[in-house]
Amino acid sequence: MFTIVTIATKESEAFLRKKTKEVSDPHSITRGFVGEMKKTMIATNGIGLAANQIGEECKVFVATHAGKFYTLINPEIIKSSSEEEEGEEGCLSVPMVYGPVKRATKITIQGTDMRGKFVKIKAVGLLARIFQHEMDHLNGKLFIDKATSLYRVDGEVKA
């Protein structure tokens, strides 16, 4: 299992805010690596995990929704609905902090799957939100940058 990189130090926050690098050979992403990402995501009660959240600079994320597991290598959102919805978000890299974030209700994302096959996924609702959150990570953005307000689970206002 991997250790989650958090914003606890200036160095780790700076790392999370760096844009990840394209994977030149999608076949270099091994099942073992993705399996460990999935195990880490599940063990930490996450529903998505980007590679930079475990200290890797590659453009890869894993996600789970409605009993299905997704792996996307070099993902790119190619279409977003103009309709947005505000929803509560949290993040494994920003522990104990939550806040409402507006996101497109529908997106189309493309990338490479674990078999090295090109995939295009039309996502709606929570799955669209998860994919957008993970794409933000890969682009060096955190949900706290987009949230209209933030709070800690202990009730203390963060921003």
pLDDT category, 154, cuts 50, 70, 90?
A: confident
What span, in angstroms and rounded, lies between the C-alpha atoms of 38 and 61?
9
Q: pLDDT of 12-27, one tens digit each?
A: 999 999 999 999 999 9
Query: Does residue 137 belong to any structural domain of this protein?
Result: yes
**Which residues span the domain enclosing 119?**
10-152
158 inside domain: no
Contacts of 100 (CB under 8 A, 6+ apart): 86, 87, 88, 89, 147, 148, 149
In a domain, 104, yes or no: yes
CATH number of domain containing 71: 3.90.45.10
Q: Which are the catalytic amino acids?
A: 134
Confidence band for 158, pLDDT divided at 50, 70 and 90: low
> What does pTM read for this prediction?
0.94
Tell me if 133 is assigned to some domain: yes
Non-local CB neighbours of 46 within 8 Å, separated by 6+ positions:
40, 92
Query: Could you give the number of structural domains in the chain?
Result: 1
